Structure 1
Amino acid sequence: MPLDGLFTHALVHELNTLLTGGRITKVHQPYPNEIILVVRNNGTNYPLLLSAHPTYARAQITHIPYENPRTAPNFVMFLRRYLEGAKLQKIEQVANDRIINFYVNSRNELGDIEPIRLTLEMMGRHSNLFLVRETDARILELIKHVPADQNRVRSLMPGATYQMPPAQDRQNPFTIGFDNLAPMILDQSTSDWPQIIQSTYQGFSRDAAQALAAAIQAPGDPLQHASDWLSHFDAPTPTLFTSDKGALSYAAFAWQQPAATTSHFDTLGDMLDAYYIGKAERERVNQQAGSLVRVVKNELKKNVAKRQKLLATLSDAENADALKVMGDLLITYPHLVEKGMTSVAIENYYDNNNLLTIPLDPKLNGLKNAEKYFNKYRKLRTAVAYVNEQMALTDAEIDYFNNIVAQLDVASPKDVEDIRLELTTGGYLRANKKNKQKPKVSQPDRFTSSDGTLIEVGKNNLQNERLSLKQADRRDIWLHVQKIPGSHVVIHDAQPSDTTLIEAAKLAAYFSKARDSANVPVDYLPAGKLRKPNGAKPGFVIFEGQQTLFVTPDPNLITTLKTS
């Protein structure tokens, strides 16, 4: 189901149970439209994600690791001023809408208690997060500033008075119940019931309306069925559905889904983590890496075009001897050529005196045309060595950028900055002169094998180089897919078990361009046998004496072995 008003009701119920009365200890903004509040309650730290993302807006307790930017954005600095150290008084949903209010008691500059409200509106592309002063409903700050010319219904700028989004004339089922439902639907076709439910009651998505319509069609009292169905949102059993085609969907409880397998979770937050871990991370990477993708694709396109030109030059060089023959014949029989001629047929004494037609420059005589062919011949002969050298460099660039493409496909948001740094250092991107902080390479992803062995996976060239050539012990086992762009994987054990070796090989296969393939060859050997050639790009190594495993990538293994 989409995150509608009903699901929001269940979320607020869960958040109230776990967070109300807790104290906000930290505020982070790891991504442009998302805030993390660390709330400590009953001796436990709960990372509360408040997302105003246009596609993935939500509120949940999340355990997906995140990387904070090196410089805190202005919005998070504003939130820290008002929220850090404040006690979370209560969490409320506005009617049955996709709006959640988080109430805290903050202290102003004079030390007086000041009631503050953090309001999350989850409205698709209109989603936003507001910090509002309760006493006068003044917007202190918001995560997305919207100019008046883009929203004439209400002002969405700091200093304005907070106004609710336009209300819809629908009833809240949690307060009014379903007593008026039966008269509306009994005389209607059952196929119309979902639409009637959706247009009458607030907070129903199409999926939820269809689920309720199916529930009240069961034998027995329809009103009792409707009440029982609604009560599930006060005691949810979070359920993730996987269709036969692999598509994911979720619900607050296990209502009927055709041709789908179900997975159950302890909390709605855990379920949303499982649902969004791929989708939201991919979107975050796409947002951060948009400029990088354009640069990489342009460089690939440029080098592929260059390679075609070099191949054409080599093809011409193979015909250089034919140019020499034409020059020899023209210099032997110059009298056969007159200015204005575009071609001439001459007996080729190199080929049993067969006639050879030679194209001519009509502005030149026979000797000058011969000289022109000799010049072309000499240029092509001397160009071969240079072209072969350029061909090798161009092929290396194509391999390099194909490797970057593969890394962007499996990158997490923290990896994107490493790739940006690498491209900037390589001269493919302009350096940001305003940012004078020394760049810091992020840590490789860490996994723990079934028998407790640490496995690290480099997600970009800078991580790969540091992991493989600097951090790994020379006896540690290093793995990489065979002849395909992919991550460097290191098992921090000189003699890993067969189980650990296979799990690490599956990680190497998954974090590579062969992640959707079966029976992927993965090379492995001690890290001490790796060598980096002089002048090679970051992450490039050569080796020999490797052994090879054949494995099939397993996406479920990533979640199972991942270390927080």
Structure 2
Amino acid sequence: MSFDGVLLEKLHKEISFLKTGRISKINESGDTDFILTIRHERQNYQMMLSFSSDYSRIHLTNRLYDSVLNPKSFTMLLRKHIEGYFIDDIINYECDRILYFKVSGYNELSDLNHKYLICEVMGRYSNLVLTDENFIIIDALKHDGVGEYNRTILPNAKYEFPLNNKINPMALSKEEIDNIFMEKNPKNPKELMDLFNGVSLNLAYPVFNTDFHSDSFYDYLHKDIKPITFTNFKGKMDFYYYPLEGNIIKEYDTLSNLLDDYYYQMDLRAKVKLKTNDLSTFVKKQIQKYEKKIEKLNLELLDTAKADKLKLYGELLLSSPNMKEKKSMVNILNYYTNEMIDIPLDPKFTILENSNRYFKKYQKLKSSVSYIEEQMEIAKNEIEYFKVIEYQLKDASINDALEIQAELINGKYLFKNVPKNKKKEKPKLLTYILENGTLITVGKNNVQNEYLTHKMAKPNEMWFHIKDAPGSHVVVHNMGELTEEEIRAGAMVAAYYSTYQESSSVAVDYTRVRNIKKIPGKRACFVSYTHQSTIYIDPDSDYIYKLKVKKQWTMRIKNLATSMMKSWHV
């Protein structure tokens, strides 16, 4: 895997400045993900610790991750034991995929304690273990008897690091590496990986593409980091701390920025898929269903073109009522063109009866045209609706996706048991704060868009939306004249949260909220507007990431306090 021991050693050096920092908060971001807030030199740093099977990693992050409101018992245990503790040291174990934090702090009896938080970033064997100063396990995220590496990961057991016969390459000098190459003589990347700890194919393959293997290996190990994503030898996007081979896709300043960017969307999509029972697949199937329906309706509409021909057959047969012989085909003069024409007949019926049958088919086809056109319009509206949903799911957080799922359940597209008396919660909207204090709110799904535009926003506030394409409703909460900075910020947010996120010179319309109207006969998320101005802007993800996000905790605390007061009065 790309996240090998050598890369973790480089990351270890990158985050080592956090020594003496204080773990001020521990949040749970998913079943296997945790966010540590570390206070260091009057600044907060967010550290992502993920121990999922597919996306295990450690890095600093500037992104906004959803926090679980009801964390599991292990998270509460971490808060009890190490929240408020100081980081004495950060250690990478033998260039393996294990990073552990030595922390110290005072307990409730004011006794100084030392503990270890051990992060094993090892794919499906990833784990987070908390031990005391003697490496006696207090608890672990994943319990295991005598499992992989013949270790016991259970409370009160002695923690043991995984044992192997590999050599730590980062602890060796150039001469020592040369001697090992001469003695062991690894002949291919696999043998190199079996010889040294923390070496993956991303490092081993380039070494054997050179003439001097030991020299290249030592040089690659000690290169200054230049994090990149690149196309690997399998033709897939990969990442590493230095561009050793392949076509570079993107360069980064730090390994944390690289890992944050690389894993964020993939990990988020996996969580959303798990929480919503793969909502994206359902939406795609709905789009395909209605597209097939339109194809079928178009074929039926083509059949209606035969209606005039059926009417003609009926009229011509009606003009020859004296034909007594029952045939399967009759040749009659077409008095409109003065040409003879063959008309198929059902020999079981008379000429007049066949004529009536043709007239009935004609009437049926003519009356079906309006029905077919109506069904086609419904199918087109459904495709438009589900394509908007499809776009919204691409950048949806778990809460956003759950709101979309609830919307589909309310629309009878999905079926799920929902408590009858469940109180309807207000949508959780993303709000940015500009440097001058102006708030910009984004609606990331239909529920949020409707609430923001038609309920939350005031009539004289400015509303932004990408022109002629699906996108988020964005409101700049300023009822006066907007500055150029506010207009560009609102347009940047609207362009970023749209289907043109990767485009340049994106057209964004903006107007006062009072000029927004619902479209009759369509869902509330579709609107029309007037008196708009247009600005062209290049979406910039770095600009969006640097915007300050308004936290929702203040409102949640107020609501909690209100409910507590009510319970006391009772």
Question: Given the two structures, how large is their TM-score scaled by the length of structure 2?
Answer: 0.78
Amino acid at match of 2:71: A
Tell me if structure 2 keeps the 8 A contact 1:404–1:460. Answer: yes
Structure 1 residues 164-179: aligned runs within 5 Å = 167-175=163-171, 177-179=173-175
Question: 2:25 — aligned with what?
Answer: 26
What's the counterpart of residue 48 of structure 2? 49
**Offset at 1:374?**
2.5
Residue 358 (structure 2) aligns with: 373
1:122 and 1:286 map into 2 onto residues whose CA distance is 23
1:203 to 186, 193, 198: 198
Matches within 5 A, 1:34-433: 34-40=33-39, 44-73=43-72, 75-77=74-76, 79-80=78-79, 82-84=81-83, 90-102=89-101, 117-131=116-130, 137=136, 140-143=139-142, 167-175=163-171, 177-185=173-181, 198-208=193-203, 226=218, 239-241=226-228, 249-251=239-241, 262-265=251-254, 268-270=255-257, 272-288=259-275, 291-334=278-321, 336=323, 341-349=327-335, 351-433=336-418
Report the secondary structure of 1:542's partner residue: strand
Deviations 1:248-270 (A, max 9, x none): 7452xx677787575434xx545
8 Å Cα contact 1:50-1:58 kept in structure 2: yes
**Is 1:512 matched up with 2:511?**
no
* Contact 2:18/2:87 (<8 A) preserved: no
- Alpha-carbon spacing, 1:304–1:337, altered in 2? closer, same or farther (3 Å): farther
Give the Cα–Cα distance (whole angstroms) in 1 for the partners of residues 373 and 510 of structure 2.
32
Q: Which residue does the alignment assign to 2:5? A: 5
CA contact (8 A) 2:189 2:208 kept: yes
Superposition pairs of residues 493-532 of structure 1, within 5 angstroms: 493=478, 494-498=480-484, 500-502=486-488, 504-532=490-518
Amino acid aligned to 2:415: R
Query: What is the SS of the residue equivalent to 1:496?
Result: coil
> Is residue 458 of structure 2 the alignment partner of residue 473 of structure 1?
yes
CA distance in 2 between partners of 1:343 and 1:71 (Å): 78
Q: How big is the shift at 1:3?
A: 2.4
Match of residue 537, structure 1, among 515, 523, 526: 523
Q: Secondary structure at the match of 1:180?
A: helix
Deviation of the 1:69 alpha carbon:
3.3
Partners in 2 of 1:136 and 1:128 — Cα distance? Answer: 15
CA offset digits 1:217-239 (Å, max 9, x no partner): 79xx969x94x97677xxxx654
**Offset of 1:401 from its aligned partner?**
0.5
Change in 2 beyond 3 A, CA 1:360/1:90: farther
Secondary structure of the residue aligned to 2:53 is: coil
Choose 374-383 or 241-250, whichever is displaced more. Answer: 241-250
Residue 327 of structure 1, CA deviation: 2.5
Distance (whole Å) between structure 1 residues aligned to residue 10 and residue 289 of structure 2: 53
Q: Distance in 1 between matches of 2:88 and 2:423?
A: 39
Secondary structure of residue in 2 paired with 1:31: coil
Q: Report the Cα distance in structure 1 between the residues aligned to 2:535 and 2:305, rounded to whole angstroms.
A: 42
SS of the residue 1:129 aligns to: strand
- The Cα shift of 1:547 comes to 3.5
CA change 1:367–1:63 in 2 (3 A) is same
**Identity fraction in percent:** 32
Q: Which amino acid aligns with 1:308?
A: E
Partner of 1:482: 467
Contact conserved, 2:87 with 2:103, CA < 8 A, in 1? yes
Residue by residue over 1:295-342, the C-alpha shift from the partner in whole angstroms, topping out at 9 and shown as x without a partner, is 212221222222233333333334333322223333443554766x54
- SS of the residue corresponding to residue 285 of structure 2 reads helix
Structure 1 residue matching 2:517: 3-state secondary structure: coil
- Measured at CA, do residues 118 and 206 of structure 1 come closer, stay the same or move farther in structure 2, by a change above 3 Å? same
What SS does structure 1 have at the residue aligned with 2:62?
Answer: coil
Shift in Å at residue 96 of structure 1? Answer: 1.9
Closer/same/farther in 2, CA of residues 484 and 229 from structure 1, 3 Å limit: closer
Number of equivalenced pairs: 544
The 8 Å contact of residues 33 and 49 in structure 2, kept in 1 or not, is answered as yes
Q: Does 1:444 align with 2:430?
A: yes
**Cα offsets for 1:243-294 (capped at 9, x unmatched):** 699977452xx677787575434xx545543554455445544554562112
How far apart, CA to CA, are the structure 1 residues paired with 2:442 and 2:424?
Answer: 24
User: 1:89·1:105 contact (CA, 8 Å) conserved in 2?
Assistant: yes
Please report how far the alpha carbon of residue 403 of structure 1 lies from its aligned counterpart in structure 2 after TM superposition.
0.8
CA contact (8 A) 1:30 1:69 kept: yes
Following the alignment from structure 2 to structure 1, what is the Cα–Cα distance between the partners of residues 106 and 260?
34
CA shift, 1:155, in A, is 7.7
Residue by residue over 1:109-134, the C-alpha shift from the partner in whole angstroms, topping out at 9 and shown as x without a partner, is: 99999976543221223323345677
- The offset of 1:423, in angstroms, is 1.5
Q: Is the 8 A contact 1:9 1:96 kept in 2?
A: yes
Superposed CA RMSD in Å reads 4.5
The change in CA–CA distance for 1:231 and 1:555 in structure 2 (over 3 A counts) is closer
8 Å Cα contact 1:480-1:524 kept in structure 2: yes
Deviations along 1:189-216, one digit per CA (max 9) or x if unpaired, are 9x96977754432112344457889999
| In 1: Cα distance, 2:545 partner to 2:110 partner | 46
Letter in 2 for 1:94: Y
Deviations 1:87-108 (A, max 9, x none): 6565443322102334567999
Any unmatched runs of 5+ in structure 2? Answer: 551-570
Mapped partners of 2:518, 2:157: distance in 1: 61
> What code does the residue aligned with 2:443 have?
G
Do the aligned residues in 2 keep the contact of 1:56 with 1:280 (CA within 8 Å)? yes
What SS does the corresponding residue of 2:530 show, helix, strand or coil? coil
Change (3 A) 1:359 1:478: farther
Of residues 209-218 and 11-20 in structure 1, the stretch that sits farther from structure 2 once superposed is 209-218
Q: 1:310 to 1:165 in 2, by over 3 A?
A: farther
Contact 1:477 1:524 in 2 (8 A): yes
Q: How many angstroms does 1:444 deviate by?
A: 2.8
